[in-house]
Structure formats: structure tokens, C-alpha cells
Amino acid sequence: MPAWSGNHPAAEPQPGVAGGVPAGAPVVIDGTADPLPVAQGHLRRARSHRDASCALLRDGDRHAVDGYYTACEEAWNAVWTCPGSAEVLAEGAEVYADGLAGLLEAARRHDRLRPEGLWLGTSSRPLLVPIEPRALPVVAADIGSIEPQAQPDDDRISRRHLRAGFGLPVVVRLAPGPEGSVAADYAAARQSLAATAVLRFRMPGGETFLQSFAGPTARDHAPAVLDLANPQEIAAVQIGPARPPLAADLSAPLLDALADMPRSGIEGFLQPFGADDTQPHLEMLEPRQPGRIPVVFIHGLASDDGTWYDMINELRAWPVFQRRFEPWVFHYPTGASFLQSAAAIRRQLTDAVTRLDPAGADPGLRNVVLVGHSMGGLHAKLQVVDPGTALWDAVSTRPYAEIRLRPDLKKQLAGNFFFAPRPFVKRVVCIATPHRGSSLAVRGVGKVASLTVRRPPEMTALYADIERQNPGTFRADFARRLPTTIDILRPDSSILQALERLRPACWVTVHSVVGDGHVSVLGGRDDCVVPVESAHTAAAVSEITVPTSHTRVHHHPRTIEEMQRILLQHLHETGLLRR
């Protein structure tokens, strides 16, 4: 039987191999003997080796590596020897996971965990335990590190998707791609995958007494393989006659990323383009897999991409999303020029899609989905409309052709106002999006926030240069100063009104999710920020209301269910469900 069970090709049996052991290897257990005492002996030795290795690890002793290894082997043998005992399986799985966590930690501290595998033994008699990714979209050489210690919970993720079972859930952090590659340019700062580590051993008894007495350093061959299994593709691990479920922590990669992600929403609002973590950047949370459809999440005002991790966590636990889609996020400084940020999204999306699929042959990259929360929904809309002169006319009294400006600056400015809809974007989901603005933008808090925002120096200089060379070019509400994103969200904003009148390209399907969990003081319902009538758009083919506040709409279970419905519809309508 194969060591793995599941629906992935890696789980298919291999000729002449039974659980990773050459056919005909001797077995220590007699078929008529009671296996329980033997299994209990394995467990006693496993606990003893684990506890002793913990002390060695604390003391910085390299022998902890070999001790933890032996603890794992004894626990594995216990389960193999007595597969019918639930107690043996439960204790064996616990000691095994403890031992494997200690083994990986000790190996890392003593530089025994390398891209080629895990090194055991001494310098004179080293043993290599190879690393084998199972149903993961990477090879061993792509792995930067294996993180055995689970990150603590984070309030940005509402629940952790765990599965009890055998093995150690880990995070596989990926090494940076080659300089100048798409993988290097668009990978998330901490791109990682959920995996379950399983140290897969020989059948019990397939070694001599001398080898057993001397320990792993006496063997002349690799005594085990370190499998890194995809827990969403592989359901169980086979240990001889036993077939326990594979343990899993599907939320681990997102928690790992959040642990390294500063909450930069306020900084990106008040000081746009002021630091590396407030620069506009498209990020792929996992390696690109051809055929999968990118779902690009765009956050809103005074927020950051971490706000989407709760929804992504729920969607990743849905098998359809995990097999057919992949999450991308766009981070941008929300206090910057509204049109400048939209242009950055357009530029980076186009660059990524073009470089990944220059021939236009990947159906996934020709059917991209954009999801925007709050102001992010407006940015998503700006990727699928042809504004003509509408946006420029909203701010200027003169035709663009008549503007006097240095050619390179004029070209830069044109990218903010004149563009074509992205042909590869086929669907847009607007969540709590203020298509007609928000009254908060004109109240005291909005005015103070607008005055507090630090304008991007580059755009401020360009704005002043235009005014100096073309006096009277800007309309009255733009003549005094460069508008902030707060100014754009005023219901009377000429840019917002122009955008609201634009219609998405004919190949784009739009959906709307509206928050209505609050009764407005002015009458009607809203989400405490955006009125229901402002969140409504005539372009949407579907709309649902969610009884919650503005900052919770995209976390709400009803919104998650609606996203699943929309994405399933997307698969049907694009014909990709049949692939």
C-alpha cells in the first residue's frame, strides 16, 4: 500500500513498494502475538527519547536531532504495530508530533535542515533524510524554511481551520524567486503554504539488532523520508495497516503572514508613499499555478491588505476555491491621489498578467475577478471602464490636448485620466462601496482627516507645475489644493459623480454587497459609513444586504456565502468548471 491516501497523483501506488519499504522486508510482529504490549513498549521509548531530547535542546546539544528522530520512529512503530487501538493511535500521534516539532527546531538551530533534506548522524557518518513535497505546487528547492511552531491567533482572522490527525501541521515559507522574475516581483513578503510534515519510516523490524542498538548513525541508507503533504489534497497517511487522517492547520500560512505584517492602514492614509510598507504593490499569496483564476482583493480607505485575510481564510477552506482560484491582494496608500492609486493597480495587474501569460493562453489569467471593499470597490470599477474625457473634464476647464507640460510629465498624468478597461478582468464584486459618496466626508471628522493627510510630494509638485503653466485650468473645487481621497468621497465630488455615470465594459459582470446594519440619523439605513442608496449600483446583476457595520461587511458569513456563490457562477459562465 502507498504511504499516502488521497485524490492526488502522488497518492497512487508505486510498483514494488509498500509504505516506502522494499517488498519482502521482515516484520517483527508475529500474526498470532498480542501487538498491544509491543506497541506500548514503542510508546514508552518514544516518550523517553522525546523528554531526553527536550533537555538536550535546551542545553544546545546537537544530539537532540538524533534523539527526536528516534522518538518519532518509535511513535510511528507503535501505531504500525497496533493499528486497532485508538489509545495507541492517540498517544502515538501526540508524541510523534511533539518529536517532529522538536526535530525540526533542533535541526534548524544546528543547521541540519537544508534544501536537500534533513541531516542526521555525525560528520564522519552523515545520513540524509530527503524532503519530498506531496501535492504541493513547489519542489524542495523552492523551500526557504519549514516553520514547525504555530503562530498565535490573530484578531484579523475570526476562526482557525484545524483538522485533528497524524503528522505535524507546518508552514512552508518559500524562497524568493530569481531577481527580475514575476515570482520575485509579485510574491508576498512572506509567501507560504500550509503543509503537514510526516517523517515516513521503514516498516518495523526491517533492521538488524546492531542497527537498532546503535541508532540511526549505524545505517548506510536514508532511514526515512520527510514528506510535506498538502492537507487539502491528501486526506490520510497510511502507517502499515493503520490509516489515520492527516492533521492540518489550513489557517497557518495566513497567520504566519500576519505575524510579519504591520497594520499600516492609518500610516498609509496619513503619510501615503512615505515608507516601503505603504507603497502600492500587487502581491500573490501563493505561487502562481497555471489555469487557476486570480481573485484580486483591494482594500478600502485607512485599511490594508490584512483586512482581507479573514475572507481568504474562509474561502481557502472551501475546496472549490482551493483548486480553482488563487488569492492576490493589492496594497496601496489610501491617502494618496485616488486616480494615481487606481493607475498603479492597472499598471501592476497588466504587467503581472502579461509576463505570466504573454501568449494569452492561460484561461485563468483571462478571467480575473476583482473584489473591492469600500473605496477598493471604486478602484476595482476603474479597472473595467473607459472614461473617455469624463474624468479629466471633471477636474479641468480645458481640453487635455491644450495643457502645456513637459512631455514625460504629461504622459504620466495621462495614465491617471485616460485608459482602457482591462480585457482580462471579467467580474467585479463591490462590497460596501460608496458609489455616490459618504456624508462622513463632509462632516467635521472627514474635514479634519482630509486636512491631516500628507499629500504625495510627487503629485503635489506636478499639480503645482500644471497650475503654474496653465493658470485657471482646474475647476473651483480643485483650484485651491490637490484633493485627498476623503475629498473624492464627498457626495458632491465631480470625480465621483463622473465615475458613477461610467458603465463597465460589456464583458464584465458586476455584483454588489451592501451593509445595512444601522439606522441613519438622516433616515434610511446604512452601515455607519455608506448609505444603502450609495452602495447600490445599477451596473450590478446581483445585490444582497448584510446586517452589519462598514468594517465588518466583508467578514460576515453571509458575505462569504455570497462570494462562494459568485465564484461558482463565474466558473460555470466561463466554462472553467469543466476543466
Domains of the chain, CATH where assigned: 4-253 (no CATH), 262-386+415-578 (3.40.50.1820)
**The most confident of 78-92, 251-265, 330-344, by mean pLDDT:** 78-92
Q: Nine-digit cell at 87? A: 489509545
Q: What is the pLDDT of residues 182-219, one digit of tens each?
A: 999 999 999 999 999 999 998 775 455 555 555 554 54
pLDDT of res. 505: 99
Lowest mean pLDDT among 78-82, 374-378, 441-445: 441-445
Mean pLDDT of the chain: 87
Q: Nine-digit cell at 37? A: 504490549
pTM for the model: 0.89
Percent of the chain with pLDDT over 70: 85
**Contact of 115 with 141, CB cutoff 8 Å:** yes
Q: What is the pLDDT of residues 439-454, one digit of tens each?
A: 775 443 333 344 344 5
pLDDT of res. 269: 42
Length of the chain: 579
**Collapsing DSSP states into helix, strand and coil, what is residue 573?**
helix
pLDDT of res. 203: 74
pLDDT of res. 292: 98
Q: Nine-digit cell at 232? A: 487539502
Q: How far apart, in whole angstroms, are the C-alpha atoms of residue 310 and residue 326?
A: 15
Angle 86-109/35-58 helices, nearest 10 degrees?
A: 30
How would residue 54 be classed by pLDDT, with cut points 50, 70 and 90?
very high
**Contact of 337 with 459, CB cutoff 8 Å:** yes
Lowest mean pLDDT among 408-412, 451-455, 500-504, 516-520: 451-455
